[in-house]
Amino acid sequence: MESSKRNDIKVKQALKAAYHAKENNGSEVSGQFEAQVMRRIRALGPIHSRPDYLSLFEQFVWRLAPVTAVLIIILAAWAMQFDFASEFEITNIFMDDPIGFNLIKQLVI
């Protein structure tokens, strides 16, 4: 962790020095200088950070969000077309006579 902070500080100092040199010199930065700067940055390597477990699942959440929205729309449309009156009548019969009501009697009739 210490080495990555030191590397960050070195990169910032190098970029500040390059910017001030450009201001003081008044000329454009040459392609060779840019190549050297990029070579030094690549030599530092990647900055290793501690993985955040919530960010690992973020990509899955955003991939599933449109699918979930489509499923909700489909289920809402299906529920609007579905007739709830028959379930209401069955519930009324069951509540009036719960002991005498069973599905076998309903299927036999």
Lowest average pLDDT, out of 33-37, 70-74, 82-86, goes to 82-86
Average model confidence (pLDDT) across the chain: 76
Tokens standing for residue 76: 């809402």
Instruction: Place 92 in a pLDDT band, splitting at 50, 70 and 90.
Output: confident
Listed in sequence order, the residues at least 6 apart from 15 whose beta carbon sits closer than 8 Å to its beta carbon are 37
Confidence of residue 4 (pLDDT cuts 50, 70, 90): low
Q: Enter the tokens of residue 14.
A: 């190098």
- Residues 101, 94 contacting (CB under 8 angstroms): yes
Distance (Å, whole) CA 37 – CA 24? 18
- Each residue's pLDDT tens digit, 19-66: 777 666 655 667 788 888 888 888 887 776 667 777 778 888 888 999
As a whole number of angstroms, the distance between CA 26 and CA 31 comes to 16
Average pLDDT value for residue range 100-108:
59
